[in-house]
Structures are given as C-alpha cells and as structure tokens.
Amino acid sequence: MKSLLSLSLFCLIINSCAAFAQETAKPNPSKIIVEEIAPRPEDVGTLDGIIKAYYETITGPAGQARQWARDRTLYTPGMKFVSIEIRNGKPFANVMSHDEFVESSDAYMVKNGFFEREIHRVTRSFGSMTQVFNTYEVRNTADGPVIARGINSLELFYDGSRWWITAAMWEDERPGNPIPKEFLP
C-alpha cells in the first residue's frame, strides 16, 4: 500500500511538472519574431555600408514596421546592446540582447516614428577591429524637430569577407552631459 501511495505521489509530481513545463514553454503572443535572413552584401561589405544599415534598419515613419531581420544580420551572435541611462541619479548600463532590444523599442518606433541619423563620426582601427563613435540626432519625422542627440559607440570586427558589429552602446545628451566639441560636426 505504501509503495502504491508513493507511486501515485510520484506520478502526480511528474504530471504537475510536465503541465508546468508545457505552460511555460508556450510562446509569448506579444513577442516579435525576427526571421533569420542572409545579410545584404552592401550592408556588410564595407564599414560605411554596415553603419548606414545600422541606422536604416531602425529608421522609419509611424506605422511602418522596422527591418529587424535585416538588422540582426549586422551583429555577431550573442552581441549586446547597452543603453546608458540615469537611474536613481546615477549612470546605469541597461544591457540587452537583440531580442530584448527589439521588444523594448519596436512599439515606440512604430507608434511615433523614429528617424536616427549620424551627424559625425570618429573612427579608430587596429588590425581587424574598429571602434566608431557616431554622434546621432533623433526625430519622430524625417524633417521634424530634433528630440534627442547622443553618441553611439560601436565595436566592429572585419573577418576578411564582411563586417560585424560586436557591441553597440549609446548615451543621450542631457543637462550636465553635453556632447563634447570633438564629437560634433
């Protein structure tokens, strides 16, 4: 009798675990699915091409879907996005995967429009690696007022046949943190 009760309890636990696993494995219906596509040669063939694509994929008017599949082709697997923010009066690094970046930014960009463009660039290279500081400005419409400015710090790698972005970090200009003159046009 004791072994029958133990077996019943064991089966109940296994079934509960299986039900929990099935419940947690269900896809999140709000999650944006980003297709896997081949990179465009013009996007990854040159440093200028990859930086142009970096801005083009997220830029567009309200109501227009962003080019997340194309965007993903620009990065090494597992790369991180880092948004420097102020939290509780102190700088904070908000570290995100590509999926997390897409989830956190897509709704705003599609609802409001988002036009980010490079206005200045400082580039340093050694061997196969390149670090680029891009000064940017952001608008909600192509010709609307500037709503933000800041600097993107991109780490890139050339593998002999294409460019890859290995990390992207940015910080917006704000009171007490103006863009230095050497990073302005």
CATH number at residue 175: 3.10.450.50
pLDDT attached to residue 30: 55
Q: Looking at the domain assignment, is residue 27 inside a domain?
A: no
Q: Looking at the domain assignment, is residue 29 inside a domain?
A: no
Domain count, the chain: 1
Mean pLDDT by 10 residues, the chain (185 residues): 39 39 45 94 98 98 98 97 96 97 97 98 98 98 98 98 98 97 97
- The candidate with the shortest Cα–Cα distance to 157, out of 130, 132, 121, is 130
**CA separation for the pair 145, 33 (Å, rounded):** 32
Q: Looking at the domain assignment, is residue 9 inside a domain?
A: no
Q: Looking at the domain assignment, is residue 17 inside a domain?
A: no
pLDDT attached to residue 141: 98
User: What is the domain extent for residue 107?
Assistant: 41-183
* Contact present, 141 and 118 (Cβ < 8 Å): no
pLDDT attached to residue 31: 86
Name the E strands within 10-74.
none
Q: Which two tokens stand for residue 178?
A: 């103006």
Provide the residue type at 10 as one letter. F
pLDDT attached to residue 7: 35
**Beta-bridge partner residues of 137:** 117, 149
pLDDT attached to residue 25: 44
Q: How many CB atoms lie within 10 A of CB 101?
A: 20
Q: Looking at the domain assignment, is residue 6 inside a domain?
A: no
